[in-house]
Amino acid sequence: MSHLNTKANIAKPDEFYHDLLVLHEGRSEEESEALNAKLVLILANHIGDASVLREAMDLASKTQARIQGGGEA
């Protein structure tokens, strides 16, 4: 069983973030949300391990709850 890697793992994170922002430029909020959903499904398929995906969903859910509650992410 694999585990979710939560350590920095992107060689050029600033470049990736820039590319992600560019991907959303000129799109409506609805289009961006649909694009994000497609990207999540594509990456989930690439990962392919349901236990890793559940770990990621759990972490995202906990992190989102802290953000909405005014705490640190």
Q: What is the pLDDT of residues 4-58, one digit of tens each?
A: 999 999 999 999 999 999 999 999 999 999 999 999 999 999 999 999 999 999 9
Does this model's pTM top 0.75? My answer is: yes
Domain boundaries, the chain: 13-68
What secondary structure does DSSP assign to 5-54, as a single string?
A: --S---SSHHHHHHHHHHHHTT--HHHHHHHHHHHHHHHHHHH--HHHHH
